[in-house]
Amino acid sequence: MKIKLDENIPVQLVQTLAGLGHDLDTVPREGLAGRDDASVWRAAQDAGRFLITQDLDFSDVRHFRPGEHFGVLVVRLREPGRLALLRRVCQVFATEDVEAWTGCFLVLSEHKLRVLHPDR
């Protein structure tokens, strides 16, 4: 899967997810750090990348309708420390069929993964 990590996601995920066979890029690596959300979203879509973010501006499913993009995972942990976030994202990537997430809108919490598919 082609993935873009937002600047609020630990860069340590690059190595871990790449090790699982994913093609990773990051907002900082692209020179988009500090840019507005529309620019980040446009860059992800132009590159055909699934976006992983903690930014609540991407959490409105009415704006980011499943099937109208390459996919977005919004991580919402109560205590979003770097280690907790790394652990939870790695866990879900290791146990779920992530290839089925293309075009989906997902919200990940400590104990739940909510997946909205394009056809539902």
pLDDT digits (tens, 9 = 90+) for 60-99: 999 999 999 999 999 999 987 899 999 999 999 999 999 9
Q: Residue 20 — pLDDT band, cuts 50, 70, 90?
A: very high
Write down the pLDDT at residue 79: 85
2-116: CATH class: alpha beta
- What 3 state SS string does the chain have? CEEEECCCCCCCHHHHHHHCCCEEEECCCCCCCCCCHHHHHHHHHHCCCEEEECCHHHCCCCCCCCCCCCCEEEECCCCCCHHHHHHHHHHHHHHCCHHHHCCCEEEECCCCEEEECCCC
- The answer to whether residue 119 scores a pLDDT higher than 90 is no
- The answer to whether residue 41 scores a pLDDT higher than 60 is yes
Write down the pLDDT at residue 24: 96
Write down the pLDDT at residue 120: 57
Write down the pLDDT at residue 73: 98
